[in-house]
Amino acid sequence: MAALAEASSLMRLLAEPGSPGESVKSAIRRAARRAGIDTGLGKRLWYGEARRIDADTMDRLRIAADDTHTLREALNARRTILARLAAVEAALGLPDAHTSGGVDHPVRRSSRAADRTVAR
């Protein structure tokens, strides 16, 4: 029974994030697709109705859930880094490079001009 409960919770984890008003059926489909299992098996796992769970299926669920967790951690780290970068830019009085289309800093401008060769 413990394996069935774990599989059910992993299926629900793989279905995240869901959109408001989304049906359970589409969440099950998405979770099954991420795990690489059949939708019918995904439904039985979701509702805890599977009679048996192969070791291969549990491995697939665990690997997919671990990948999903790793991706979420990476996205959270990216958000944190971007927030820190915005705070540093604000503290230095620089324009926001993410919304202004790039930073045109005077030092960068002069260094680009110095790199050009002048034809005479």
pLDDT in tens, 53-93: 989 999 999 989 888 888 888 888 999 999 999 888 888 88
What whole-number distance in Å separates Cα of residue 54 and Cα of residue 1?
Answer: 13
Handedness of CA 60, 61, 64, 69 (dihedral sign): negative
Q: How confident is the model at residue 39 (pLDDT cuts 50, 70, 90)?
A: very high
pLDDT attached to residue 20:
87
Q: How confident is the model at residue 97 (pLDDT cuts 50, 70, 90)?
A: low
Residue 93 resides in a domain: yes
Peptide bond into 20 cis (omega under 30): no
Residue 26 resides in a domain: yes
Residue 120 resides in a domain: no
Q: Indicate the number of domains in the chain.
A: 1
Query: Do 42 and 35 form a contact (C-beta atoms < 8 A)?
Result: yes
Q: What is the mean predicted confidence (pLDDT) over 100-104?
A: 55
Q: What is the mean predicted confidence (pLDDT) over 3-25?
A: 89
Per the structure, the complete domain to which residue 86 belongs is given by 2-115
Residue 88 resides in a domain: yes
pTM, full prediction: 0.59
Tell me: pLDDT of 111 over 60. no
